Amino acid sequence: MDDGTGRTMHRRDPMTWQDTPKTTGWGGRRTGAGRKRSTEEPLHARELRLTMPQIAFLNRYGRGNLSAGARQLIDAAIERERDEEATRR
């Protein structure tokens, strides 16, 4: 029960009021909240130093998303490396 001043009545002792902080209802984890993953595997943050032409290339390659461009380029290189290893056998 709320008396409008931010205090609630304690259930076990109905005549005593307790001061409780007002909350906005924001915060905490909520099912389905937040941005959805862009990859199946979790992403790890790393710092990478690049030249401006390299940054421009990755932005173009990732259609405006530098990180996506870097991931796509690396995935293509990994795939090419696997293909080369398979042809050597």
Q: Give 43-52 pLDDT, tens digit per residue.
A: 899 999 999 9
Q: Give 21-73 pLDDT, tens digit per residue.
A: 666 667 677 788 777 877 788 889 999 999 999 999 999 999 999 999 999 99
Q: How far is CA 29 from CA 20, 24, 26, 33, 65, in A?
A: 22, 14, 10, 7, 27
Say how many CA atoms lie within 13 Å of 59 toward its Cβ. 8
Q: What is the pLDDT of residue 8?
A: 56
Q: Which two tokens stand for residue 62?
A: 């990732």
Q: Which two tokens stand for residue 3?
A: 């008396």
The residues spanned by each domain of the chain are 49-89
Do residues 20 and 12 lie in contact, with contact meaning Cβ atoms separated by under 8 Å? Answer: no
